[in-house]
Homo-oligomer: A and B are copies of this chain.
Amino acid sequence: MAVRRILGLDPGLRRTGWGIIDSSGNRLSWVGSGVITSTADRALAHRLAELYARLEDIVVEFQPTEAAVEETFVNQNPDSTLKLGQARGVALVVPARMGLTVAEYNNATVKKAVVGTGAAQKDQVAMRVHRLLPGILVTKADATDALAVAICHAHTGRTNAALAQARIAAGAGS
């Protein structure tokens, strides 16, 4: 069975969580994860360039072929939303430019895929991520969130593949 290597991202200007998993049939495994931080006292353009370079390094090192980015919660504060959008633009553009497919999932979809309910608490998501990925070495919340997005994408891709299989079996073509 083919292994899919998925990069999950939870973008933010101060902290961007990233997580890489392998998905093969029903089996998931942890490959790597971490948090990219940016120094608040540098100019915005340089912070974004830093984020770009770090994400590029991660793609080069781990060679994922698919990316999944969290459709982050839109803040009430327009300034925060603009900042988040800027980091998110970089998080989307790096994998796209490097030839990965890029999917987006909102928070409720991620929670539903990982815990089973869109109303799950943050610590429930974290516990479930650790259970689903044996051998995981990760502690930071942003990295766990990124792994949750990757798991969500692995499940969704499997569902799509199963549906495609079913369509082929039913003789309906693709």
Contact = CB atoms under 8 A, between A and B. Distances in A.
A52 B93 contact: yes
Contact of A93 (B49, B75, B76, B84): B49
Interface string A1-23: 00000000000000000000000
A46 interface: yes
Contacts of A86: 85-86, 88-89, 92
Nearest to A81: B81
Tell me the interface secondary structure of chain A in the complex.
helix
Interface residues of A, number: 33
A83 to B, nearest CB: 7
Interface in A55-81: 67, 69, 74-76, 78-79, 81
